[in-house]
Structure 1
Amino acid sequence: MSKLLEVKDLQISFNTYGGEVQAVRGVSFDLNKGETLAIVGESGSGKSVTTSAIMGLLPKSNTQIKNGEILYKGKDILKFSEKEMQKIRGKEISMVFQDPMSSLNPTMKVGNQIAEGLIKHRGLSKAEAKEKAIELLRKVGIPKPELRVKQYPHQFSGGMRQRVVIAIALACNPEIIIADEPTTALDVTIQAQILELMKEMQKDTGCSIIFITHDLGVVANVADRVAVMYAGKIVEVGTVDDIFYNPKHPYTWGLLGSMPTLDDNESEELYTIPGTPPDLTNPPKGDAFAPRNKYALEIDTMYEPPMFKVSDTHYAATWLLHENAPKVELPDAIKKRIDSFLTKQQGGNKQ
């Protein structure tokens, strides 16, 4: 598969009253044409900051991009001017935000909001853009699009508003869609519909998707590959099967163990990761996850682990993969929870 996007050793800090926040600390990954890459981690892990850098949406006033490259089709877009980014943003790289109400203009009809990009980037007339907007609303599953195109965002439900945002993102047939927690504010049924819609859209258009979420369970049926982020770093990356069937980093174990399943009952305590993420104004020495990791080794408090190769598609940054480390297996309770989750989510199709 050809690489459409390459992020190399990206380091981003923010100047705040409390000091310099090292939000992204040496992140590297790539995105292949036509694939879905999920970036997973708790709030504050650096997921949205990384993708905002790809879109060129970080505030210039207090952001420092201290190192790295973001290569889109071989060109470093970190060096692009705002005018150059405007030609790419929305046309070649689009974004679906978490809260559709804050990303839609409440004073504009949804048809005009979809048409805006079509007129600017594709040179369509107003009449042509309106027809295309109706077609896009129909494609994303909004009934009576001829009527709905004339309505305002407040006249749509939360799930329908998110469909409108997806229609806007798809309008110019972008190469990449970045979906930043697109289903978090929706109920489980609508969430499933939106995820299914995104898969269908990808199949139809061949676009690549970066899917950001704090919930590993959401990506089980969506992603091709998964990058797990913690404290501004990628700590594990692999295919979706690598991550679900052979996770290696204790943080990934924690995220998997925290997934609720249909087998849970009131008397059963849901697994949680102890402690809280570190303060990135003063990142800890060694492995940032060590204070929350009951399997941490002495070396974790002194040296940051490198990315160890598990297979050609699977890498994890944990000293537990060192040849001299004690053998620690995925806890049975977490293994049972993963098996239960996958059986229910995928109808038992996964073996």
Structure 2
Amino acid sequence: MENIENKERLLLDVKDLYVSFDTYAGEVQAVRGVTFHVNRGETLAIVGESGCGKSVTAQTVMQLIPMPPGRIKGGNIFFEGKDLSKYSDKQMEKVRGKDISMIFQDPMTSLNPTMKIGKQIMEGLMKHQKLPKDEAKKRAIEMLKLVGLPNPGKRADQYPHEFSGGMRQRAMIAIALACNPKLLIADEPTTALDVTIQAQIMELMKDLQVKLDTAIILITHDLGVVAKVADRIAVMYAGVIIESGTSEEIFHHPQHPYTWGLLKSVPRLDMETKGRLVPIYGTPPDLFAPPKGCPFAPRCDYAMKVCKTYGPVRTNLTESHYTHCWLQHEWAPKVDDKFAKGGAV
């Protein structure tokens, strides 16, 4: 069970979630017992390399994975105390866009190319807030202005192909925030953008979060983005969360070898480094047949015999920081690693 400090601020509580996909080749166990929570107004970052289950987890929260082939094998998704995993499609239509919104990775494939941007913003306002067409159009223009688009009145009457990449991403944010959702899921929102536009988009999201008191789940593999905006971080690998804690705990006191590897593979300006960056060698396990023990064991420099045989138990390091790693066991050898010692990261 996760330690939740203030239950009154609790917004989303995902407990022991299992999600699989049934294919002709067999069952893909994409998410395997994921547990996390999000409080009102905070930012939780879910980080990990491609294929670890980040996006599947987020899309399952919104019931966006196709069923079949996808299916929820177990677990609960409590949003304001109500279990979304038991909701029908019709019930979820009242939640999506109104209480929970999502910014997708590629706005060009998410926006409707045949509809003007203003009309795409108006859709949610007219459906969820029952605004008349004139008021919805006015609100759409206000949202485009809020996300920093110049000439919002003109932009509302343009199509997605007339926007640049950064402008399309801003339009996606406007659509997602139009109904003042309580939770915003941002799935790799800046991957396709250059670094200057990335910084602008993340700054915009933080500003809007303060104004609207919206909680954010940020899905990314960019630790530089995470360091600036996240309150808490969940590190995901092979369908499981292997370490979770506050940003300070994860960046300054990481305790899992995979987290060490992620941090070592990122260039840093505040530390003197010699030679090249250290990659994480090997590939993630096949989720058609996940390993019995720790999923990271085949790639881990510190793997022991027990790691390959038994899944690691959870170790609570602080009230907010925990990890799943056999190195935390009292019988495990002490690891001489600068990150394990609490070196600056």
Specify the TM-score bucket, using the shorter chain as the normaliser: over 0.9
Q: Superposition pairs for residues 40-59 of structure 1, below 5 Å?
A: 40-59=47-66
Q: Do structure 1's residue 88 and structure 2's residue 95 form an aligned pair?
A: yes
Distance 1:107 1:161, change over 3 A: same
In 2 relative to 1, CA 333–55 (structure 1 residues): closer, same or farther, beyond 3 Å?
A: closer
Normalised TM-score (structure 1): 0.93
Equivalent residue letter for 2:117: V
* Equivalent in the alignment of 1:125: 132
Q: State the shift of 1:271 in Å.
A: 1.6
2:38 to 23, 31, 37: 31
**SS, match of residue 23 in structure 1:** strand
Q: Is the 8 A contact 2:254 2:340 kept in 1?
A: no
Quote the residue 2:3 is aligned against. none
**Once the two structures are superposed, what CA deviation does each residue of 1:87-120 show, in whole Å capped at 9, x if it has no partner?**
0000000000010001100111100001110000
Q: CA deviation at 1:17?
A: 2.1
Instruction: Pick the aligned partner of 1:287 from 290, 294, 312.
Output: 294
Q: Say whether residues 1:306 and 2:313 are aligned partners.
A: yes
Is 1:319 matched with 2:326? Answer: yes
Deviation string, structure 1 residues 66-99 (Cα, Å, up to 9, x no partner): 1100001111111111000000000000000010
Once the two structures are superposed, what CA deviation does each residue of 1:193-238 show, in whole Å capped at 9, x if it has no partner? 0010000010000010000001222100100000000000000000
- Partner in structure 2 of residue 145 of structure 1: 152
* 1:1-351 mapped onto 2 (5 Å cutoff): 1=6, 2-261=9-268, 268-331=275-338, 339=345
Residues of 2 paired with 1:121 and 1:329: CA distance? 55
After the TM superposition, list the runs of 4 or more consecutive aligned residues in structure 1 that deviate by more than 4 angstroms.
Answer: 262-265, 332-336
8 A contact 2:253–2:341 mirrored in 1: no
CA distance in 2: counterparts of 1:181 and 1:22, whole angstroms: 22
Match of 1:343?
none
Q: Gaps (5+ residues) in structure 1? A: 340-351
- 1:348 aligns with none
**Aligned-residue CA RMSD (Å):** 1.8
Q: Could you tell me whether the CA contact under 8 Å between 2:11 and 2:79 is conserved in 1? A: yes
Deviations 1:269-302 (A, max 9, x none): 2221010000000001100100000011111011
Instruction: Tell me, in whole angstroms, the C-alpha distance in 2 between the residues paired with 1:274 and 1:334.
Output: 23
| Number of residues of Structure 1 aligned to a counterpart in Structure 2 | 338
| Contact 2:97-2:179 at 8 Å conserved across structures | yes
Identify unmatched segments of 5+ residues in structure 2: 1-5
